[in-house]
Amino acid sequence: MKKNKLILSFCLLFAPLWLTGQFYTVGTAPARVRWRQIEAGPFKVIYPREIDSLAQRYAWLFEKATPHVMAPLQAKTPSLPIVLHPYTLFSNGMVVWAPKRMELYTTPPAASYAQNWEKQLVLHETRHVGQMSKLSQNFFKAAEYFMGQQSQGIAVGGYTPTWILEGDAVLSETEYSFSGRGREAAFLMPYKAYFLDSISFSWDSWRYGSYKYHIPDRYQFGYFLLSTTRYHNRAEVLSGMFDLITKRPYIPFISRIAFNKATGYSHEQTWALGAEIMGSVWSRDLQNNGKPTPFKILTDPTLPPRGKPVSDYADYESVIPFAPDSVYALYRSFNRASSLVRIDSSGKKEFLRYMGYVSGDLAQGGGKLYWTEVVPGLRWEQESFSLLRSFDPKTNIMSTLTPRSRYRHPSVSPLGQTIAVVHAAVTGESALHLLDAENGAFIGAYSAPDQGQIQSSTWASDSLLYAIVLSDSGLGIYTLHIETGLWNPVVPPQYRGISRLHYANGLLYFSSDLNGTDNIYALDPHTVPAQLFSLTHARDGAFSPWLRSDTLYYSNYSYAGLRPVSAPLDSMRWKRAHFERPYTFPLAEELSRQVGFRIDTVEVPAHPSYPSKPYSKAANLFRIHSWAPIYYDVDRVAAMSMDKWYDVASPGVLLLSQNTLSTAIGQLGYSYRNGFHTGHLKFTYQGWYPVIELSAHLNERKAMEYKRERGEDNRWYSANSVLDKPYYRMSADIYIPFNLQGGGWVRGLLPRAYLSMRNDRYYSIEKSSFNHYATLQAGVQYYQYRPMAMRSIFPRWGFGLSAYSISAPSMGDVFGTGMFAQAFGYFPGLFANQGLRLRAIWQQQWIEGKLYYLPGLAVWPRGYPSRASQKHTGFTADYAVPVWLGDLSLGRILYLKRLQLIPFADWAKIQHSEKTEAFYSVGADVLFDVHAFRIGSPISAGFRSAFRADGVAVFEMLFSVKVQ
């Protein structure tokens, strides 16, 4: 019995790693959307009707590319719905398996390498479909009969590291094209910087990251290892690995064993082999290119000796000089979220303001800085907009010129009167819009040439612009003549990167990885053909050039991050270069040779003609995707709310439903516990403006009858009885999650009404009858805080307010009414990344002449059990101290990254039954941020120790999981 409890404890401990990752929703599109669908082979493309042409293109690409992408995995192509989301300005894609579907954000990135966005999504996400299809065979295929699609979710979340899944998908977008991240120099640039400076970390640090040092993410890590593996193996190498995992899932560490058997190397050996191969490639390139060009670091110039990593890694991007003693940049570090900074001639930086999500580079003109910031829609997660912002350095005032637009990448005309912005239409088209710099008024529009996507632009004169345009054939540079509206190519489309275009002194300056490393180039567009010059030889990478007074400003990368630098223009190399002779990436070329198919060689029809028909939201409201021979509460497990195991899992059955549009989510279950046969129903609908959550539970126990009588001593006594009828409880929660994020603040407003009902009965002396129990909570919550830096536990600044009323509408003569209010604030601590959180709580119930308390919302001091009360006034204080643990590995059991030490002090003055008492406690939460058993998702585990005023010490375990 003890052994069974131990196994159950272990399963429940790691259940959120599997459950949260598979029951996943990316939010909902606006309710106004009318949906259509296209059948393309095994795929059903579901899309808003206004993007029919774009959906047709996706359908054609999926149908043509899928057989090639799936072939190396030797996987069957499953039938799968693909949902297109065009209303958000964020660019992403994902494949989820419970319910199985693909979700694509169709707006191309603001800046991209030389790969068409639709083709990248098709290659990358189709590979994920192949992975999950492959992992659904053998044991997990049999388990599907008992569990539904959550079987594959467990196979992916519990057995396959995310770096394998994402690294293999990056391989796909690289090997099946002439571009892809595997051919982007900046993609593996952090590894290059570390290797060339002989800096290394432990395997666990490379794999799981660090809170002290900058470690590349799982996409980079996965591609680095798998490209090395594929270089020495056939394209089908991962197929054998997935076969063994699905045949022997009961073997501990089966993923590592399967990798070893399929590739012939362990993870660590593969890493060492990749480091040797890529290190030699980068060292050879460094020798061939000669001595790096000199530059002056404008701020944070100190670097440690060779072989020593830095803990103050930081990036300075979009460097903009206003004067020799005034340089602006976007700054981001482990200690601070994205901010606008000013750097003076002495190298001192001044933080001007926090920034939101900036799409593209900063621009300057007319004495102001300009940028576009992406902000979420007010209600719908799948809708976002951009704001064109300006900042006046003289007054430090920020202004908004265009609210709720789809603009990106501003550039300012020489006279400062007109702004050119890239307009990313919902339908997929791209155009250059001209706006009045004074008020943002629309002047004119120019559609992109060759049905391409405009990346950025720069003005040569008030009537001539240059722009970077991405088409099916790669990135090119074009001229736009305002008077005629005609585009002409200066650099024809090709497959090397081009970014941050800037015109000055008759030349175009930009950064490109033409020679295998990102460097600064100058192009003379007035010669035929245009002459190209390589200006810098950066060891690791040089980006975002801007010329002022014959001095070139840009961002230079090293293992310490991107630093703002400057160099005289006459000190540059000025070496002739040619786009016709690009650098060849050895590993990427070998990968492409193995598969023999490139999507760029396939001509996409201008107008594919798949039959389209309406997609009914009502007819597709329910989609049962999973089930289980036991009952468990998905919400409790995913939230790690496991104070009572029988509330989480018990004998029974469970059905799970989530429709393809993620607007309707439900679960229906039966459980047997404590001698009762219980029914459970939960349903959430988020397709309307308010979110509606309904729940019902039947026969958890017998219903109760509550009655209070006054005795002969004039005191009240309870005379409760058990009824011979099943107990039921129901609730309806209605709220609107307003998202007000922007301007460097995370903000939200949440009006809410919660109605709870149950068939327990309470006796009313006034009415001489029993009434069923029902309570209503109604109120609003507002929060606002600064974005958190990676090392922070609390936000640096922030506050929140909430106020709720609570009542019993049908039993006002038995229950009183109550009010609850709470305020909290976040403040900086004494040292970096430390933070203080203060909270004030007030609650009161008006119960004169009433018999019962309503449930309280106020939280009691930690260490005390919560109870209902008449009056409650409380204060809490928490102080967060993050402690780096040295990235310590304890074999394959634990990898310790950080200690969270959060001392606290709570106080409350509480009145109950005409007695007022003061309660207080002090203590600390001690949490270790770890990775256990080499599972990818990070875990925070520890304990809370609270010492109460009455001398009682209380200890409890704390546990949370951040699912990747």
| pTM of the complete model | 0.94
Query: Which of 4-13, 168-177, 912-921 has the lowest average pLDDT?
Result: 4-13
pLDDT for 272-303, tens place per residue? 999 999 999 999 988 888 889 999 999 988 77
Cα dihedral 259→261→265→266 (10° resolution):
50
Q: What is the mean pLDDT of residues 547-559?
A: 95
3-state secondary structure of 619: coil
* Cα torsion 930, 935, 936, 940: sign: negative
Alpha helices in 52-116 (DSSP H): 52-70
The CA-atom distances, in angstroms, between 398 and each of 386, 403, 423, 434 are 15, 13, 22, 21
Rounded Cα–Cα distance for residues 307 and 295 (Å) = 22
The pLDDT, as a whole number, for residue 11 is: 44
Rounded Cα–Cα distance for residues 289 and 292 (Å) = 8
Q: What is the mean pLDDT of residues 761-786?
A: 91
Q: What share of the chain is helix, strand, coil (3-state, %, to 5)?
A: 20, 45, 35
Token pair 């039954």 is found at 913
The pLDDT, as a whole number, for residue 342 is: 97
Beta-sheet pairing, 464-471 with 474-481: antiparallel
The pLDDT, as a whole number, for residue 637 is: 63
pLDDT for 460-487, tens place per residue? 999 999 999 999 999 999 999 999 999 9
Angle among Cα 584, 162, 24 to the nearest 5 degrees reads 125
Rounded Cα–Cα distance for residues 286 and 273 (Å) = 20
Q: Which two tokens stand for residue 255?
A: 């993923």
Please choose, from the candidates 793, 787, 847, the residue with its C-alpha nearest in 3D space to the C-alpha of residue 816.
Answer: 847
Query: Which of 333-337, 605-609, 647-651, 931-935 has the lowest average pLDDT?
Result: 647-651
pLDDT for 315-324, tens place per residue? 999 999 988 7
Angle among Cα 366, 391, 381 to the nearest 5 degrees reads 125
Does the structure show a pLDDT above 90 at 768?
no
Does the structure show a pLDDT above 80 at 5?
no
Does the structure show a pLDDT above 90 at 402?
yes
Q: What is the mean pLDDT of residues 251-278?
A: 92
In angstroms, the first-to-last Cα distance of the chain is 34
pLDDT for 156-198, tens place per residue? 888 899 999 999 999 999 999 999 999 999 999 999 999 999 9
Total residue count of the chain as it appears in this document: 964
Please choose, from the candidates 829, 740, 747, the residue with its C-alpha nearest in 3D space to the C-alpha of residue 786.
Answer: 747
Confidence label for 891 from pLDDT (cuts 50, 70 and 90): confident
Q: What is the mean pLDDT of residues 618-639?
A: 85
Mean predicted lDDT score pLDDT of the chain? 92
- Exposure string (b/e) for 32-51, b if CB count within 10 Å is 16 or more? ebebbbbebeebbbbbbebb
Q: Which residues contact 802 (CB under 8 A, 6 or more apart)?
A: 779, 780, 781, 782, 820, 821, 822, 823
Please choose, from the candidates 869, 754, 850, the residue with its C-alpha nearest in 3D space to the C-alpha of residue 811.
Answer: 850
Does the structure show a pLDDT above 90 at 19?
no
Confidence label for 10 from pLDDT (cuts 50, 70 and 90): very low
Rounded Cα–Cα distance for residues 490 and 476 (Å) = 8
The pLDDT, as a whole number, for residue 638 is: 57
The pLDDT, as a whole number, for residue 847 is: 86
Could you count the other beta carbons within 10 Å of the beta carbon of residue 333? 20
Q: Which residues contact 801 (CB under 8 A, 6 or more apart)?
A: 781, 782, 783, 821, 822, 823
Rounded Cα–Cα distance for residues 669 and 678 (Å) = 8
Question: Beta strands of 584-687 (E only): which ranges?
Answer: 612-614, 624-632, 649-658, 664-673, 676-685
Angle among Cα 186, 187, 189 to the nearest 5 degrees reads 55
The CA-atom distances, in angstroms, between 838 and each of 599, 786, 822, 880, 905 are 56, 16, 11, 11, 10
Within the chain, what is the greatest distance between any pair of CA atoms?
110
The answer to whether the beta carbons of residues 457 and 432 sit under 8 Å apart is yes
Confidence label for 851 from pLDDT (cuts 50, 70 and 90): confident
Q: Which residues contact 530 (CB under 8 A, 6 or more apart)?
A: 490, 491, 523, 524
* Cα torsion 253, 258, 259, 263: sign: positive
User: In one letter, which amino acid is 1?
Assistant: M
Token pair 């490139």 is found at 598
Confidence label for 558 from pLDDT (cuts 50, 70 and 90): very high
Confidence label for 241 from pLDDT (cuts 50, 70 and 90): very high
Q: What is the DSSP letter of 207?
A: H
The pLDDT, as a whole number, for residue 913 is: 73
The pLDDT, as a whole number, for residue 679 is: 97
Burial of 22 (0-12, 13-18, 19+ CB in 10 A): buried
Radius of gyration of the chain (CA): 31
Rounded Cα–Cα distance for residues 758 and 424 (Å) = 52
Q: What is the mean pLDDT of residues 37-57?
A: 96
Please choose, from the candidates 886, 401, 842, 301, the residue with its C-alpha nearest in 3D space to the C-alpha of residue 410.
Answer: 401
The answer to whether the beta carbons of residues 507 and 522 sit under 8 Å apart is yes
Query: Which of 116-125, 413-422, 596-605 has the lowest average pLDDT?
Result: 596-605
Could you count the other beta carbons within 10 Å of the beta carbon of residue 355? 23
Q: Which helix (H) or strand (E) holds 263?
A: helix 254-263
The pLDDT, as a whole number, for residue 896 is: 95
pLDDT for 492-524, tens place per residue? 999 999 999 999 999 999 999 999 999 999 999
Burial of 288 (0-12, 13-18, 19+ CB in 10 A): exposed
Could you count the other beta carbons within 10 Å of the beta carbon of residue 718? 9
Q: What is the DSSP letter of 788?
A: P
- Strands laid side by side in the 80-85 sheet: 92-97, 100-105, 80-85, 43-48, 35-40, 612-614
Q: What is the DSSP letter of 755?
A: E
Rounded Cα–Cα distance for residues 329 and 316 (Å) = 6
The pLDDT, as a whole number, for residue 20 is: 47
Could you count the other beta carbons within 10 Å of the beta carbon of residue 504? 18
Phi-psi region of 250 (alpha: psi -120 to 50; beta: other; left: phi over 0): alpha
Rounded Cα–Cα distance for residues 844 and 860 (Å) = 14
Query: Which of 31-45, 621-635, 814-828 has the lowest average pLDDT?
Result: 621-635
Q: What is the mean pLDDT of residues 86-97?
A: 94
Does the structure show a pLDDT above 90 at 641?
no
Please choose, from the candidates 960, 954, 962, 894, the residue with its C-alpha nearest in 3D space to the C-alpha of residue 924.
Answer: 954
Confidence label for 26 from pLDDT (cuts 50, 70 and 90): confident
What percent of the chain has a predicted confidence (pLDDT) above 90?
A: 80
Rounded Cα–Cα distance for residues 697 and 731 (Å) = 9
Rounded Cα–Cα distance for residues 674 and 163 (Å) = 44
Query: Which of 517-531, 784-798, 844-858 has the lowest average pLDDT?
Result: 844-858
Q: How far is CA 913 from the centre of its chain?
A: 49
